[in-house]
């Protein structure tokens, strides 16, 4: 009997919640999601449990054109991933890092968008996350994806941080992939995107020396959003080229701004 009680005690000590709180693995974790019968790898960053209570907010982070792939890891090495590794205290949130497969489709406007939303939904369910605090961010091609996914469901996200993204038609310089304008049937796609996203708080970053995605893309979006009375901030980085994401994600105030919003 004593042996049985000892075994039962040891098992209980290793059950989730045995110490009064759920035991949660933390760090950058490998995950897969099924879309249209195929499996795709992605990663979820889970913050250390200490000091955190209640459902966690979620950030959906969309990578740029240089991180297409199937390894499920490359997308965490540029942009938000390095910022999290350098300053984990700034990110008391789950962060979902989907990856677009190299199939020639237009990033998160195509199959990548379905993968991203499926990974987000799976994370929300797996961690019982706070659905009123779901955020969207993306860089370059992922910035285009952020505008695109926000348009699909404007009420899904509490706020967005878009870095050197684009709304108009664009062709990748290295990949040759053609990205159609997000709104192709409007005379002014920037004005139409702004009209449909007027209720979404947005902070836009772009380098004024960007040789890849013209800074005019973000200038026009910021101007169009301001015209609607939207809650929009625009930060133009003097002398910065395409890598606007490093200084943008290094800003503690930008991350704090993102996480302070809650969907109404």
**Each residue's pLDDT tens digit, 156-183:** 999 999 999 999 999 887 778 899 999 8
Q: Please give the pLDDT value at position 53.
A: 73
**Each residue's pLDDT tens digit, 47-106:** 997 667 789 999 999 999 999 999 999 999 999 999 999 999 999 999 999 999 998 889
Averaged pLDDT for residues 197-213 = 97
**Contact (CB, 8 A) for 177 and 106:** yes
Q: Please give the pLDDT value at position 9.
A: 38
**Each residue's pLDDT tens digit, 95-120:** 999 999 998 889 999 999 999 999 99
**Each residue's pLDDT tens digit, 119-157:** 999 999 999 899 999 999 999 999 999 999 999 988 999
Domain ranges in the chain?
24-259
Question: Strand 134-139 relative to strand 159-163: parallel, antiparallel, unpaired?
Answer: parallel
Q: Helices (H), strands (E): how many in the chain?
A: 8, 10
Q: Which CATH class is domain 24-259?
A: alpha beta
Q: Quick check: 231 pLDDT over 90?
A: yes
Averaged pLDDT for residues 238-248 = 97
Closest to 139 in 3D by CA, of 46, 77, 228: 77
Question: Strand 94-97 relative to strand 38-46: parallel, antiparallel, unpaired?
Answer: antiparallel
Model pTM score: 0.90
Q: Quick check: 10 pLDDT over 60?
A: no
Q: Quick check: 240 pLDDT over 50?
A: yes
Closest to 79 in 3D by CA, of 200, 250, 240: 250
Q: Please give the pLDDT value at position 264.
A: 75
For the chain, the average pLDDT equals: 90
Q: Quick check: 11 pLDDT over 60?
A: no
Q: Please give the pLDDT value at position 19.
A: 31
Q: Quick check: 28 pLDDT over 90?
A: yes
Q: Please give the pLDDT value at position 50.
A: 66
Q: Collapse the DSSP code of 41 into the 3-class scheme (helix H, G, I; strand E, B; otherwise coil) and give the result.
A: strand
Q: Please give the pLDDT value at position 41.
A: 98
What share of the chain has pLDDT > 70, as a percent?
A: 91
Question: Strand 134-139 relative to strand 202-207: parallel, antiparallel, unpaired?
Answer: unpaired
């Amino acid at each position: 009997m004593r042996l049985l009680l000892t075994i039962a005690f040891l098992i209980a000590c290793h059950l989730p919640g045995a110490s009064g709180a759920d035991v949660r693995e933390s760090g950058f974790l490998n995950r897969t999601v099924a879309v249209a019968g195929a499996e795709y790898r992605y990663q979820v960053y889970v913050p250390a449990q200490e000091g955190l209570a209640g459902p966690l907010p979620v950030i959906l982070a969309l990578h740029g054109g240089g991180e297409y792939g199937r390894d499920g890891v490359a997308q965490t090495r540029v942009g938000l991933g390095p910022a999290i590794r350098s300053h984990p205290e700034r990110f008391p949130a789950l962060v979902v890092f989907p990856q677009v497969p190299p199939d020639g489709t237009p990033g998160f406007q195509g199959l990548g968008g379905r993968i991203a939303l499926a990974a987000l939904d799976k994370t929300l369910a797996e961690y019982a996350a706070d659905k009123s605090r779901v955020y969207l961010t993306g860089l370059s091609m992922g910035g285009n994806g952020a505008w695109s996914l926000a348009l699909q469901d404007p009420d899904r996200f509490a706020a967005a941080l878009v870095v050197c993204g684009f709304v108009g038609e664009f062709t990748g310089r290295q990949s040759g992939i053609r990205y159609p304008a997000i709104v192709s049937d409007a005379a002014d796609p920037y004005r139409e995107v702004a009209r449909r996203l007027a209720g979404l708080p947005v902070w836009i970053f772009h380098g004024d020396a960007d040789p890849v995605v013209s800074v005019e893309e973000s200038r026009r979006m910021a101007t169009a959003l301001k015209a609607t009375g939207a809650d929009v901030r625009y930060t133009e980085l003097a002398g910065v080229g395409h890598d606007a994401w490093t200084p943008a994600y290094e800003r503690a105030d930008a991350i704090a701004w993102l996480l302070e919003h809650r969907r109404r």
